[in-house]
Amino acid sequence: MGFLELVNFYIIPGIVLGSIYALGAVGITLIFAILRYAHLAHGDLATLGAFVAFAVVTGIGVSPYAALPVAIVATALVAVGIDKVFYEHLRERPKIITVIASLGIALMVRAVVQVIWGVDSESYVRGISRPDVYFGLRIRDREIYTVLAMLALVGALYVFLSRSKWGKAMRAMSDNPNLALLSGIDNKTVIVLTWVIAGGLCAAAGVFLGINTELKSMMGWQMLLPMFAAAILGGVGRVEGAVLGGLIVGLAEELSVLILPSEYKAATAFVILLFMLLVRPTGILRGKVL
């Protein structure tokens, strides 16, 4: 196998897949950093966002990129609503109860998607998308847009967390919740902002996964483990760590087929997850321990 073949068929798809995982992993890491529990409904919220965009695409006839803001807003509102209805009264209970509740929410969201849109595979755009060739590199427009969108969304989030008043409040809640509350930070507003951001990033991850592959009611559930692996690999609570972890997991999955049958591709994230929990639970960038 030549170098260009390796890049075209494994490295580029790995970076694109890793960018999608990164978007979801950032939401996971924010939820754990501020709310202190693992959210198992994260993948199915991504599925919901992808199908909301699909409804806009088929209903109005716009491109999935134009439907993306609608999906982000809708999924963010759903995420806030889920927290208010199902998680808020569990705030003072042991976190494992909320984790188990989130599994039930995942099943509920998936059932809603299946009832409304069915269980068959769907696609935003029909037909074959041929890649363009740049100096021997075969790259599709949608792959470029996926990576650029990830960088733009994560970059905007990083600026928000480091420069804005509420971003600094979220960081304070992540570092020391008790001290943040004593300092007068509005805990409820921070939690709402956390769910808005996590829900919006979920939708973006789902939409771009749908653009680059196809829409399935189980797509979010199948990407849940890689997203958690990415968050833990980079360091839970670290936004830049989630991006780094997502890219590594995406590349590892695509490159794994060079030595393993493609059926074992999904197991790569599981192996990475177990390895990091055993060897370095804080992740590459020394985040929080699950």
pLDDT of 118 strictly over 90? yes
pLDDT of 202 strictly over 90? yes
Using one digit for the tens of pLDDT, what is the confidence trace for 97-110?
999 999 999 999 99
Domains detected in the chain: 3-279 (1.10.3470)
Q: How confident is the model at residue 281 (pLDDT cuts 50, 70, 90)?
A: confident
- Provide the pLDDT for residue 289: 61
Question: What is the pTM assigned to this prediction?
Answer: 0.94
- Provide the pLDDT for residue 52: 97
- Provide the pLDDT for residue 42: 95
Q: What average pLDDT does the chain have?
A: 90
Q: Of the ranges 109-123, 172-186, 189-203, which one carries the lowest mean pLDDT score?
A: 172-186
DSSP labels, 12-72: HHHHHHHHHHHHHHHHHHHHHHHH-S--TTHHHHHHHHHHHHHHHHHHH---HHHHHHHHH
Higher pLDDT among residues 171 and 156, named by residue? 156
Query: What's the CA gap between 51 and 48, in Å, rounded?
Result: 5
pLDDT of 132 strictly over 80? no
Is 285 buried (19+), middle (13-18) or exposed (0-12) by CB count in 10 A? middle
Average pLDDT, stretch 265-278?
Answer: 83
